[in-house]
Structure 1
C-alpha cells in the first residue's frame, strides 16, 4: 500500500501541477484576452476620434473656403459701389469740362496770350490731369465706325467720301471711366 499511496500522491501532484499549469494558462489567456480587448477598445476609440477629426477638419476647410468667398465678394461689391459713386460725381463734372472747352474755343486769337486766358488754360489742364489720374479718358469717335455702345447718333448725313456707318463729326465728347462708358459721344453718322 505504501507504493500505491506514493503513486497516488505522485499522480495527485502531477494532476495538481497540471491543474495549476492549466489554471496558469487560463489566467494568462484571460490576461491576453483582456489586453486584446483593451487594445481593441483603444483602436476603436482612435478610429472614432480620427473620424471626428476628419469630419471637423472638413467642416473647418469648408467654412474657411466660404469665408474667403464672402470676403472676395464683399471686396468686389465695395469696388463696384465705389465706382458707381465715382461715376455719379464724375458725370456731374463733365458739363464743367465742356464749358471750359467752349470758353477756351471762344477766346479771340489776340487774347490768347493774356494772363487770364493762360490761367484758365492751366486750370483746365489741371482738371483734365486729375480726371486722367482717376481713370477718366475722352473717347475719340471721329473717323471711326459707329458703335451704339459708345456713341449716341443724333444726326445722319449722306457723305460719299465717308464710309457707311462711320462717325463724320463728334458733336459732344464722350468719356470712359475705367472700362465703363461715363458719357456716350454725341455724333453725326454717315449713311
Structure 2
C-alpha cells in the first residue's frame, strides 16, 4: 500500500474526530484524482488519453472510492460496516493507526521539510497538492496554505511533468467539488 496513491489519499481524508471520512463526496473526487495521478506517474495517462482530466476526475468517482475502501479492507488498514437502510453509507473505521500516522507524517514532511520540491518523491508532492486543493485542514491548515503557498504551488506544478493539464485539474478541484455536489449545476 506504500505506493498506492488512492489509498494514501483516502487515509489523509479520514477524520479521527468523527471516525470516518470528513466529507465523502469530496473524498470521492480526491481519491479519483489520486488514481489518475498514479496512472500518469506510471506512464498511463488515463482512460481516454488524458485529454480532459477534469472530466476524468469526475468519472467513476463512486466506484473508485468503493474499490479503494475494499483494497484497504483487504490490507487490514480499515474495517467497514454495511450501510443501515437503503440510503445509508458504509461506515469505515481505520484499524491500522500506524498507517494513518505514517501517511500524515509523510505529507507533513513534504510540506514543512527543507527538501527541494524537485527532489520530493512524486507521490509525496502529489499527496500534498491534492490535500491542499481538497481543503483537508488536518493535513494542510489554512495557515499552512498561506505560509507554504509557493511550496504547494510547486508541488502542483510538478504534476504537469506527469501529464499535460494534470496540474490544472488539481488546481480546479475546489470548483469541481462544488459542481460535483450540485452547487454549480454539475453532476
Q: TM-score range by the shorter chain?
A: under 0.3
Q: Structure 1 length as normaliser, TM-score?
A: 0.23
Greater helix share, 1 or 2?
Answer: 1
* Larger relative contact order, structure 1 or 2 (CA cutoff 8 Å, min sep 6): 2
Q: Structure 2 length as normaliser, TM-score?
A: 0.23
